[in-house]
A and B are shown apart, each in its own frame.
Chain A
Amino acid sequence: DTGVSQNPRHKITKRGQNVTFRCDPISEHNRLYWYRQTLGQGPEFLTYFQNEAQLEKSRLLSDRFSAERPKGSFSTLEIQRTEQGDSAMYLCASSLLGGSNEKLFFGSGTQLSVL
């Protein structure tokens, strides 16, 4: 069991640059989630996929954010024209089937710092 893997672990970028993060879920898991966590807050839901289909997006996910899961396996989260307010820990999680009574398995996150 390799768990949920996220790369990179840390990313420092200048305001206005684009960044992309990758998440590899647990191999047999169909559901993949992206969350964002800022200091002093709990993880906030951004979006999730059932296989390759993106089923829900939070209002937190502005037009500058895009997520993909092209083959239902790994996922990428891209932020265009980064702003200082984008600085946060971006967490990926996966679950086997989704729905109620399902726990999520989280990766270690990507810490983004926008200068």
Chain B
Amino acid sequence: DQQVKQNSPSLSVQEGRISILNCDYTNSMFDYFLWYKKYPAEGPTFLISISSIKDKNEDGRFTVFLNKSAKHLSLHIVPSQPGDSAVYFCAASDTDKLIFGTGTRLQVFP
């Protein structure tokens, strides 16, 4: 049973526009969420996180929004840049480990 879901396997956005990546989860006990970015042949790298006591966290061009009642979070990237092209994973903290979604491949084109 997939507890963390990313229903969009891919997203294509023009450079300079906003990228919105979505993530849904099923376990209301999750209290910490993270986004990781992964380039081919590399391990995931941490991007941004949010605690369940907040509904928004911002870091430069990246903002994560959390809607606990809907069990939904989203990552906004603005403005999008070609170097942002990668696979993005949403993850939830389950006690002592992270549970990952299946990822969304973002392509930013000129």
Contacts and interface: CB of A to CB of B under 8 A. Distances in A.
B43 A4 contact: yes
B7 to A, nearest CB: 13
A99 B32 CA distance: 10
Nearest to B90: A42
B30 to A, nearest CB: 9
Give the interface size bracket for A toward B: 20 to 34
Interface string B24-68: 000000011010100001111110010100000000000000000
A42 B103 contact: yes
B93 interface: yes
B102 A106 contact: no
Nearest to A105: B46
A102 interface: yes
A93 B31 CA distance: 21
A108 interface: yes
Interface in B57-110: 89, 91, 93, 95-103
Main secondary structure, interface of B, reads strand
B43 A103 contact: no
B33 to A, nearest CB: 10
Give the interface size bracket for B toward A: 20 to 34
Contact of B95 (A4, A100, A103): A100
Contacts of A105: 46
A43 B45 contact: no
Interface in A65-112: 91, 93, 98-109, 111
Given A42-B103, A43-B100, A102 B93 contact: yes
Contacts of B44: 43, 91, 106
Nearest first, the 5 A-B pairs at minimum CB distance are: A42-B100, A106-B43, A103-B46, A43-B100, A45-B97
Interface of B: 4, 6, 9, 31-32, 34, 36, 41-46, 49, 51, 89, 91, 93, 95-103
Interface of A: 4, 6, 31, 33, 35, 40-45, 48, 55-56, 91, 93, 98-109, 111
